[in-house]
Structures are given as C-alpha cells and as structure tokens.
Structure 1
C-alpha cells in the first residue's frame, strides 16, 4: 500500500511539474518593439491657440490590440517663429580728441591750412525676442521645453562724412581758418533674446499613459505654453509583450515564438529532478525498514520452531543457545540479501 502511494505521488509530481512548464510556455509572450512618427506641421502654437494631436498605432496593432506595454518614450521637436523686434538707438557724435591742423583745398582750388574736428557716432539696432516655452500634456503627464538664450553682436563701418563749419579763429596764426567736422559712423547690430529649435527629448510616459495607449492604440496629446512656436514633428517608441492571439493590422497573427524565461524553465526542471530524487530515496529507506522487520519476524518464527522440536525436559547450555541463534540469524540475513 505504501509503495503504491509513493509511486502515485511521484507520478502526480511529475505531471504537475510538466503542466506548470506547459502553462508557463503557453502564457509566455513575444517581444514587441516599434515606433511611430508624426510629421512637422505649419501651425503656430501659443497659450491662446493650443494644438491637439494624437499618436495612432492602429495601422500596426489593429483596432483591438492584445498586448502589454512596458516602456513608451516620446520626443517632440519645436521651432521658434523668429519674430525679432528691432529698436534703433542713435548716439550723439562724440569728439575724438582736439581739433587738428591740416592742409585742405578750397572751393576755388587753392590749398591752405584748415582745422578739422573728428567725431565718432554709433547707431545701434537692438533686436529682442521673448522666450518660448512649450508644454506637452499626455494624460496626467506634463513635460516642458524652452528656447535657448542667444546673444550676438555685429559691428559695421558706415564710413565718414565731412561738413564745413565756417571760419574760425586760429590761435597760432592769429587769423581765421576754415573749420571742418569729420564724423566716422558705425552701425552696431545686437541680438539679445531666445530663438532656434528646441526639444522635449526622450520622456518616459507614466503607467497610466501606457494603459491608455494599449487599450485602443491611440494616445492623444495637447501642446500649449508661453509665447508662440511651430510644431516640428514627434516620435513615439514603445516596448512590450504581445499576448497570445495578438494579430498585426493586416490580420496575420504574430508568429514570434513565445519565449519562456530561462529561470522558469531551469526552476521547473530542478523541481522535477529534485522531487523525483527525494521520492526514490524515501522509497529505498522504507524498503530497508521493511526488510529489517521481516528478518526479525522470521528469526522469531525460526527460533520458536527450534524450541518446539527439542525436548522440553532438556536443559540447553548457554553456548548451545548462542550457536542456534547465530545460525538462524545467518540464514535470515542471507535470504534478505537475495531479496535485495
């Protein structure tokens, strides 16, 4: 009875382990990885003019996807509208040193001494552009990006202009000399503001957004923020597992072979092997106990039979009794060895 229980228990353990291994493989899922991109659109986005769009993966997954997403990463690109505001600021001519004596030609063609006063005048064209801040909303997730600060200055030489100022008293000659002003003009262009392209780069979405996308293959989003900017495209990369029965958009079932994790397979194999070894050892130990009990029982029966065949009136010596016991034990031990 005990042997049958041991055998039945061992068989059930093997059966249960194989069922577990088969179930793990059946429930295992295939790796799923892909991406989708959105093109740039010539639309100006601002706080008062938000933009609403969506990622649509139904072309890849179909209308009722059977999958589990483990990671979704989005990247959004933007471009400043580059509306720089210009203000001009003219500086007053500044004297460059004292008046200089020079030789100049008069209107009638004669040369003579003259006085020249040099001036420097700078004209500034100042350009400014306020910062743009893009805000991305996907469900409860919020992400931000802003334009970068730019500072640039260019200096342009606009040449010189000469003007006659009339006759002025010359301290050296005690006479009057023609006086001229010579003005050197410089244009300074200065950009100080925020511009160029900017990006919300590689943002991992929350578990709520993953569930939203996996439910029907659509992930809506909204863009707004401060200032105004252009939407320059976006990408979504996803990773996950396709559940059994997952079909691609074309109607073809995903043929990727399910992968059972190595640790699960090795653990189940170890369970089968270890359980079988324990049951075999237990069965062998119980067999040894039964053999010893059988040997004792036969020894007792043998001894009782020997006593009954001898005369009850005879008294056996101790040496004769020990010799009879050893002979009976040797016989029983030999029979047990043959059974093993």
Structure 2
C-alpha cells in the first residue's frame, strides 16, 4: 500500500500535541507507511522583528513536533518533513493560509490535511471556521483532529501576556482620557481611571493582535513620540499645498482613487498608517484591507507624496525600528497604482 501523505499545520496551542498524535495514528491506520509533513505558516515577514522572533519559535515548535511524531510512530515506517511557510510574503487571513497550504500540498502530493481545532497562527483567536471554508474553496481535503480540550470555566488566571495587554490598554485609555479632559482635576483623574479600567478589562484581549514585547513595546512608544512632530509637519505641508491649489483661479485639482500595497502588517500598524494618511489634507483612506490601502487623493502633490511612501516609512520606523524604515517607496517597488480618475 502506498504511503499516506499528511500535512499538519502547527501553532503553539494546548491541543497541538494531540493533533500531531491523531495525524500519526490516523495515517498509519490507512496505510503501511506515513509521510508526515509538519509546517508552520508565519503571519509576519521574516525581515521584521516580529517575524524573526516567530521564525525562531517556529523552528523550536517543529523540533518538538518531530519528537512527538517519532514517539507516536514507535517502530512504524514514518518519514518526517518540516517546513516554514510564508517567510517571503505576507499572510493576512484564512484565504492566504488556505492557498499556501494548497500550494504546498500540490507540490508534495499531500493526501489530506489534519487541522488543529485551536489553530491560531500568531493571532489572538482561533481561525478554524473561516479557514475550513477557505480549505473547502480550494478543494483541500482535511480532517479536524478530535482532541480533548480542558474546560474554560475554571478560576481566572491572568498570564504574563494577559497582564501586559491589560496594563498597556489601561494606560493608553487613561492617557487619552486625560488628553481630552483636565489631568489636574481630581474628578477627571478618578473617572478616567474608572473608564480606563472598564476599557482594559473589556478590550485588552482584542486591542493587541500579538503578544506584547516588554522591551520592544516601550521602544515603540518612544519612537511614536518622535513620529508625532513628523506627522504634524506633514499635515502643515499638505495644508499649505491644498490651500495654494484652492486659491489659484485655475483650481488644478485632480481627484483620483489610488491603490497602495503598504509594507506594514495589518492591525495596529496598518490602522496607524491609514489614519495618518486621512489626517493629512488632500488624502483620504477609503478602505484598508489587509496591507492594501484604497486612498482618494485630491491634488497631484498629495498623490506623489503617497507614492513616495514617507508616512509608510515613518510607521515602519515606529513599529519595527530604524532599519526597517529603509525600504523602497511604493512607487519604486510597483506597489502603487491609480485605479480611477475624474470620473469618480
């Protein structure tokens, strides 16, 4: 009987060990030999600090998973292949993951995919149901591993990561509240703390899409302080440019709709970039989908500034550091295009 080829996407969940065990057991039940492909799909570009960290963690998880396969296989004929996927591209959602699994399966003759019910590749919540729909769309045969999960109604235990999210969300909310109020008035201090407490308890688990780094996160906050004057200067320049156009009798306005594939990760970095673009007069972010921005520009200079990628580089500096800001502009890397003109 031919070898069964099984693809097992891994993420560091409480059920990953059981998933690997099921893949080995079910594969050997239907064939005399098993070819087990253990893969990890990275949600970050490996050139980014987050990507480098996740790549190291991925290699460690793959090594553990190899040991699990050997342990479960006993003396059976089992071949193990490992791979890290997505190292040279951005993976944003279930569709991207399904397509990269389908491509890998086609290249290696995979018979089926074994899916961890808690599969969560670098994000805060399981993406099982949308991923299953996308696997069906690309005709990828799969099994969901029948795992046993611990009950979740026990005593609440706050992990280090949970505390970091709670702490950061509280102080961000508290600071924003005081900016809008009076930081020297006792009532604003009291109500601000109460509101920040409610916000942090309610939204801390969804505010940050990845675990916070106790070293990098404070650095990002410091870099953001330096970013604010830069953004204000860009706003002033754009105001002058738009005002000059409006005051000219000829009114050389060229409204266009542009598409830019930004080299920032979706989530908070993309949100910061999209809002920075909108705050700059002459440009308006219409839609932000994964790393793709649809931006309305009013005048040619605003479009040129957008294509030059100044704000994109500044946001990369804030979230990823100085070295990450040294990238080609969207125009230079063919990641910008005009998709509509005056007829819009």
Answer yes or no: same fold by TM over 0.5. no
TM-score computed with the length of structure 1 as normaliser: 0.18
TM-score computed with the length of structure 2 as normaliser: 0.18
More RCO (CA 8 Å, sep 6+): 1
Higher relative strand content: 1
Structure whose CA Rg is larger: 1
Higher relative helix content: 2
